[in-house]
């Protein structure tokens, strides 16, 4: 996901049912100040992803400067390991997932040149780390040296390398033919050849094909039909048949539909209404732990996976990005790839 | 991923001074443990004590992927130490016991965090080590037991895609590890397994999907004749028609769509009966349309039925090269019903309508 620019309008004074832009901005800005919560430390393995999710959400909400740029860049660079890849946090191991997030953040902040500074090894070192994880035999990618293979890593590799202008480091046609092997009769894609179709994997496979310039291989009507059936009566989208809706699929399904020009195959208004209900709203009353009382949520801000659930930054960015696809007022437009 | 399905509650009343202190103590303890493990790994102290600390840390936080990597490094070291034992027999026993204990350590974590990628992934790594380090019969026994484990996990959540993916790996490994003299495919017994899972819950599309894949394997492995393939197809059509007594279940219609691919010349080569003639295909589709029309009786509000009728009619036209005006009239009639019944996907149906004019 990268940002496309377009003019936007910021709503004035939150009303029930609105998008609470300022609340979400505050929620994201405060994430790093929650060091007195155990959860903060238990999620350290997601820190670099978290920065990407938060930063992207802030950009989409029209507050790109809400996180300090220099401090963010310093943090990202402190996560780089000797092999050129990036870890979730300083001292952790390098992995494809965080390396991709690092590239996305550096591109968003227009800071790729930082990699060329002495001792960093340049963008080619980073590119070589990614390229080294391609399985030469099948064309897919591993997450790290321990060998897990997943189309998430394949998409991530192509995404990061294309952002760096280094796609020629890998065998793109082989990666493309691997994706074709992940296609099922329903037109959708699974995590590996033979695996059941899954909307998250559809996003990674279609996104990778888009980057490779091979969307011609997608059976658009068949896949579009499967994706549009992800919309449920409550307006939300699920990831597979007969599962519950979840706000993050607003992005995985919505972006996939957008990439094959079928976003209008779901009901935008109903989807936007569902996403807004997943907001932690300052107007909600919620149960107090251990009692039967309900209180007004003192904090507010952020999105959960479903209405009335806890907010987290992962569901926040993919909810906001979903609204962005739907050209919702107050959110900047996003590039679905 | 973080935070799926956690209900929201207010912490307003809960965070007394004491609770806050308690949380700070927990943080301190967690960070100290984290630091300790990190230091020991940096110092290459690959001891049983380090392994124990790693276990504690992972039990607190199974998503901590770097610590799973630490665990791999410690175990690799212990494996190589075991291998330098005096006799081969002791070496094998030691490695086997290290692996066995580690597999046991993972069970409660898998049960509590069945959607954590890293645990499943680590377990596969461990079993791969068994494959490389242990005599075949010993390694095979470890893998054999995984089949029971993944069966249990899928009983707890029959749609867990980690579980289904894991099953795929286990079956693949067991087939490779099979003793030379038998060397047989597990497709028949897995087909029975998929059948059992479907009969427990007809909506389980994961099991229907598995069934599609297994049928292909079964037929290919016995180099089935065209006649045998047709018989399999007839059986599947009968099965799905019976299941569609409940026509509102999306999973069943996606399986139906899989079967209809058999009649589609552009993908039929990947299906269970690739060599049907065009006239056979048309005959099948005609029967299909009749059967589906009967389902409408009492389920006139079921959009999937109209959709299947349209898909079949369009497929027949694709084979024939054109659509009769009678068929076209039917399609437009069914489409009008769908547009009424399925306002969420109106854009899709309007697009389709345009292709008909």
CA distances from B106 to A160, A204, B4, B121, B148 (A): 34, 29, 22, 11, 15
The answer to whether the CB atoms of B9 and A91 lie below 8 A apart is no
Residue environment code for A267-304, b if the CB has 16+ CB neighbours within 10 A, otherwise e: bbebbbebbbbbbbbbebebebeeeeeeeebeebbbbb
Q: Does residue B79 sit within a domain?
A: yes
Categorize the per-residue pLDDT at A11 as very low, low, confident or very high, splitting at 50, 70 and 90. very low
For residue A6, pLDDT over 50 is answered with no
Categorize the per-residue pLDDT at A223 as very low, low, confident or very high, splitting at 50, 70 and 90. very high
Residues of A in contact with B26 (CB under 8 A): 38
Q: Is A181 on the interface with B (CB under 8 A)?
A: no
The answer to whether the CB atoms of B161 and A93 lie below 8 A apart is no
Q: What pLDDT sits at residue B351?
A: 98
Q: What is the CATH number of the domain that holds B117?
A: 1.25.40.120
Q: What pLDDT sits at residue B168?
A: 95
Average pLDDT over residues A53-63: 96
Picking from B124, B267, B345 by the largest number of A CB atoms within 10 A of its own CB, the best residue to mutate is: B345
- Which of B27, B205, B258 lies nearest to residue A185, judging by beta carbons? B258
Q: Is A220 on the interface with B (CB under 8 A)?
A: no
> Which residue's entry shows tokens 């349309």?
B289
Q: Are strands A285-287 and A2-3 parallel, antiparallel or unpaired?
A: unpaired
Which region among A3-7, A230-234, A238-242, B128-132 has the lowest average model confidence (pLDDT)?
A3-7
The answer to whether the CB atoms of A185 and B344 lie below 8 A apart is no
The answer to whether the CB atoms of A265 and B348 lie below 8 A apart is yes
Q: What pLDDT sits at residue B180?
A: 72
Q: Is A309 on the interface with B (CB under 8 A)?
A: yes
Average pLDDT over residues A301-329: 94
Pick the last residue of a domain from B134, B168, B186.
B134
Residues of B in contact with A298 (CB under 8 A): 10, 12
- State what percent of residues in chain B have pLDDT above 90: 89
Residues of A in contact with B27 (CB under 8 A): 35-38, 41
3-state helix, strand, coil in chain B (%, to 5): 75, 0, 25
Q: Does residue B127 sit within a domain?
A: yes
Residues of B in contact with A283 (CB under 8 A): none
Sign (positive/negative) of CA torsion B131, B154, B110, B63?
positive
Average pLDDT over residues A26-34: 91
Q: Does residue B32 sit within a domain?
A: yes
Average pLDDT, chain A: 91
- Which of A226, A288, A308 lies nearest to residue B7, judging by beta carbons? A308
Q: Is A17 on the interface with B (CB under 8 A)?
A: no
Q: Does residue B240 sit within a domain?
A: no
Q: What pLDDT sits at residue A10?
A: 45
Q: Rounded to an integer, what distance in angstroms lies between the CA atom of residue B287 and that of residue B350?
A: 28
Task: List the structure tokens of B295.
Answer: 């389902």
Categorize the per-residue pLDDT at A9 as very low, low, confident or very high, splitting at 50, 70 and 90. very low
Pick the last residue of a domain from B134, B159, B192.
B134
Q: Rounded to an integer, what distance in angstroms lies between the CA atom of residue B240 and that of residue B238?
A: 6
DSSP 8-state assignment for residue B282: H
Sign (positive/negative) of CA torsion B207, B208, B213, B215?
positive
Q: Are A278 and A247 in contact (CB under 8 A)?
A: yes
**Structural domains in chain B (count):** 2
The answer to whether the CB atoms of A289 and B13 lie below 8 A apart is yes
The answer to whether the CB atoms of B13 and A42 lie below 8 A apart is no
Cβ neighbour number for residue A233 with a 10 Å cutoff: 8
- DSSP string for A226-274: HHHTTB-TTS-B-SSTT----TTHHHHHHHHHHHTT-GGGS-HHHHHHH
Task: Report ipTM for this prediction.
Answer: 0.93
- State what percent of residues in chain A have pLDDT above 90: 81
Long-range contacts made by residues A44-47, C-beta under 8 angstroms, separation at least 24? A44/A88, A44/A89, A44/A92, A44/B64, A45/A88, A45/A89, A45/A92, A45/B61, A45/B63, A45/B64, A45/B65, A45/B66, A46/A88, A46/A314, A46/B2, A46/B63, A47/A79, A47/A88, A47/A89
Q: Is A34 on the interface with B (CB under 8 A)?
A: no
Q: Rounded to an integer, what distance in angstroms lies between the CA atom of residue A78 and that of residue A99?
A: 12
Q: What pLDDT sits at residue A41?
A: 93
Q: What pLDDT sits at residue A7?
A: 41
Residues of B in contact with A196 (CB under 8 A): 161, 164, 205-206, 209-210
Secondary structure E strands in chain B = none
Cβ neighbour number for residue B158 with a 10 Å cutoff: 17
pLDDT in tens, chain B (357 residues): 346 777 766 555 556 788 889 999 999 999 999 999 999 999 999 999 999 999 999 999 999 999 999 999 999 999 999 988 777 778 899 999 999 999 999 999 999 999 999 999 999 999 999 999 999 999 999 999 999 999 999 999 999 999 999 999 999 999 999 887 666 799 999 999 999 999 999 999 999 999 999 999 999 999 999 999 999 999 999 999 999 999 999 999 999 999 999 999 999 999 999 999 999 999 999 999 999 999 999 999 999 999 999 999 999 999 999 999 999 999 999 999 999 999 999 999 999 999 998
CA neighbor of A166 nearest in space, from A125, A203, A105: A125
The interface residues of chain B toward chain A in range 16-75, judged by CB-CB distance below 8 A, are 20, 23-24, 26-27, 30-31, 34, 38, 60-61, 63-66, 69, 72
The interface residues of chain B toward chain A in range 100-139, judged by CB-CB distance below 8 A, are 117, 121, 125
DSSP 8-state assignment for residue A303: B
CA distances from A69 to A73, A74, A110, A111, A304 (A): 6, 9, 10, 10, 27
3-state secondary structure of A1: coil
The interface residues of chain B toward chain A in range 268-327, judged by CB-CB distance below 8 A, are 270-271
- Which of A93, A148, A309 lies nearest to residue B66, judging by beta carbons? A93
For residue A210, pLDDT over 70 is answered with yes
The answer to whether the CB atoms of B161 and A198 lie below 8 A apart is yes
- Which of B13, B65, B250 lies nearest to residue A241, judging by beta carbons? B250
Nearest chain A residue (CA) to B70: A93
Question: For A119-175, what is each residue's pLDDT tens digit?
Answer: 888 999 999 999 999 999 999 999 999 999 999 999 999 999 999 999 999 999 999
Q: Rounded to an integer, what distance in angstroms lies between the CA atom of residue A228 and that of residue B345?
A: 7
Question: For B110-163, what is each residue's pLDDT tens digit?
Answer: 999 999 999 999 999 999 999 999 999 999 999 999 999 999 999 999 999 999
Pick the last residue of a domain from B68, B99, B134.
B134
For residue A295, pLDDT over 60 is answered with no
The interface residues of chain B toward chain A in range 173-202, judged by CB-CB distance below 8 A, are none
Label residue A290 left, alpha or beta by phi (over 0 means left) and psi (-120 to 50 means alpha). left
- Which of A184, A195, A314 lies nearest to residue B165, judging by beta carbons? A195
Q: What pLDDT sits at residue A289?
A: 54
Categorize the per-residue pLDDT at A300 as very low, low, confident or very high, splitting at 50, 70 and 90. confident
Q: Rounded to an integer, what distance in angstroms lies between the CA atom of residue A116 and that of residue A120?
A: 6
Average pLDDT over residues A63-73: 94
Q: Does residue B250 sit within a domain?
A: no
Categorize the per-residue pLDDT at A285 as very low, low, confident or very high, splitting at 50, 70 and 90. low
Residues of B in contact with A36 (CB under 8 A): 20, 23-24, 27
Average pLDDT over residues A181-197: 96
Nearest chain A residue (CA) to B209: A196
Categorize the per-residue pLDDT at A299 as very low, low, confident or very high, splitting at 50, 70 and 90. low
**What contacts B262, CB < 8 A, 6 or more positions away?**
B233, B268, B271, B272, B273, B274, B276, B281, B284
Q: What pLDDT sits at residue B14?
A: 55
The answer to whether the CB atoms of B8 and A246 lie below 8 A apart is no
Q: Rounded to an integer, what distance in angstroms lies between the CA atom of residue A314 and that of residue A292?
A: 29
Q: Is A129 on the interface with B (CB under 8 A)?
A: no
- Which of A36, A45, A229 lies nearest to residue B64, judging by beta carbons? A45
Average pLDDT over residues A257-262: 98
Show the domain range for B287.
263-357
Question: For B66-108, what is each residue's pLDDT tens digit?
Answer: 999 999 999 999 999 998 877 777 889 999 999 999 999 999 9
The answer to whether the CB atoms of B5 and A147 lie below 8 A apart is no
Q: How many angstroms separate the CA of residue B326 from the nearest CA in chain A?
A: 24
- Which of A38, A45, A312 lies nearest to residue B63, judging by beta carbons? A45
- What is the interface size between A and B, counted as CB pairs within 8 Å? 178
Cβ neighbour number for residue B333 with a 10 Å cutoff: 12
Residues of B in contact with A204 (CB under 8 A): none
Nearest chain B residue (CA) to A235: B344
Q: Are B272 and B262 in contact (CB under 8 A)?
A: yes
């Amino acid at each position: 996901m990268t940002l496309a620019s377009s003019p936007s309008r910021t709503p004035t004074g939150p009303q029930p049912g609105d998008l609470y832009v300022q609340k979400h901005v505050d929620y994201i800005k405060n994430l790093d100040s929650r060091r007195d919560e155990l959860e903060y430390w238990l999620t350290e393995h997601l820190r670099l992803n978290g920065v990407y999710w938060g930063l992207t959400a802030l950009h989409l909400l029209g507050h790109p400067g809400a996180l300090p740029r220099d401090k963010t860049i310093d943090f990202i660079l402190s996560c780089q390991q000797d092999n050129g890849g990036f870890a979730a946090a300083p001292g952790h191991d390098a992995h494809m997932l965080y390396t991709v997030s690092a590239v996305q953040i550096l591109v968003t902040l227009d800071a790729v040149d930082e990699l060329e500074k002495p001792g960093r090894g340049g963008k080619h070192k980073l590119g070589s780390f990614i390229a080294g994880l391609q399985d030469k035999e099948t064309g897919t990618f591993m997450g790290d040296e321990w060998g897990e293979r997943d189309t998430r890593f394949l998409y991530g590799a192509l995404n990061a390398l294309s952002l760096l202008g280094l796609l020629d480091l890998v065998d793109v046609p082989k990666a493309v033919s691997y994706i074709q092997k992940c296609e099922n009769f329903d037109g959708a894609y699974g995590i590996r050849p033979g695996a059941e179709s899954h909307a998250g994997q559809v996003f990674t496979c279609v996104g990778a094909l888009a980057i490779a310039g091979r969307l011609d291989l997608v059976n658009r009507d068949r896949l579009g039909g499967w994706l549009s059936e992800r919309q449920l009566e409550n307006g939300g989208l699920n990831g597979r048949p007969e599962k519950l809706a979840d706000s993050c699929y607003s992005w995985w399904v919505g972006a996939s539909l957008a990439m094959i020009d079928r976003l209008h195959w779901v009901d935008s208004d109903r989807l936007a209404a569902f996403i807004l209900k997943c907001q932690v709203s300052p107007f909600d009353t919620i149960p107090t732990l251990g009692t039967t009382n309900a209180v007004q949520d003192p904090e507010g801000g952020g999105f959960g996976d479903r209405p009335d659930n806890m907010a987290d930054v992962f569901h926040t960015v993919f909810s906001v990005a979903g609204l962005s696809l739907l050209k919702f007022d107050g959110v900047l437009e996003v590039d679905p790839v | 991923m973080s935070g799926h399905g956690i209900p929201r509650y207010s912490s307003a009343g809960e965070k007394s001074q004491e609770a806050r202190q308690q949380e700070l103590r927990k943080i301190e303890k967690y960070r100290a443990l984290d630091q300790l493990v990190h230091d020991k790994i940096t110092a290459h102290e690959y001891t049983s004590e380090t392994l124990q600390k790693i276990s504690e840390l992972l039990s607190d936080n199974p998503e901590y992927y770097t610590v799973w990597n630490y665990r791999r490094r410690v175990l690799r070291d212990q494996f190589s130490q075991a291998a330098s034992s005096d006799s081969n027999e002791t070496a094998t026993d030691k490695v086997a016991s290290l692996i066995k204990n580690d597999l046991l350590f993972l069970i409660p974590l898998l049960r509590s965090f069945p959607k954590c990628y890293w645990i499943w992934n680590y377990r596969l790594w461990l079993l791969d080590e068994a494959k490389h380090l242990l005599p075949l019969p010993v390694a095979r026994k470890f893998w054999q037991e995984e089949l029971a484990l993944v069966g249990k996990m899928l009983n707890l959540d029959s749609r867990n895609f980690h579980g289904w993916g894991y099953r795929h790996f286990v079956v693949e490994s067991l087939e490779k590890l099979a003793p030379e003299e038998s060397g047989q495919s597990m497709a028949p017994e897995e087909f029975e397994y998929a059948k059992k899972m479907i009969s427990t819950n007809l909506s389980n599309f994961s099991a229907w999907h598995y069934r599609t894949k297994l049928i292909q394997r079964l037929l290919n492995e016995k180099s089935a004749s065209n006649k045998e393939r047709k018989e399999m197809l007839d059986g599947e059509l009968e099965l799905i028609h019976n299941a569609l007594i409940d026509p509102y279940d999306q999973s069943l219609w996606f399986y139906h769509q899989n079967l209809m691919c058999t009649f589609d010349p552009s993908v039929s080569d990947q299906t269970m009966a690739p060599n049907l003639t065009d006239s056979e295909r048309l005959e099948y589709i005609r029967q299909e349309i009749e059967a589906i029309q009967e389902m409408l009786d009492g389920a006139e509000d079921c959009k999937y039925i109209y959709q299947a009728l349209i898909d079949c009619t369009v497929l027949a036209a694709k084979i024939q090269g054109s659509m009769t005006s009678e068929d076209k009239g039917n399609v437009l009639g069914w489409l009008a019903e769908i547009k009424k019944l399925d306002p969420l996907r109106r854009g899709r149906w309007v697009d389709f309508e345009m292709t008909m004019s």
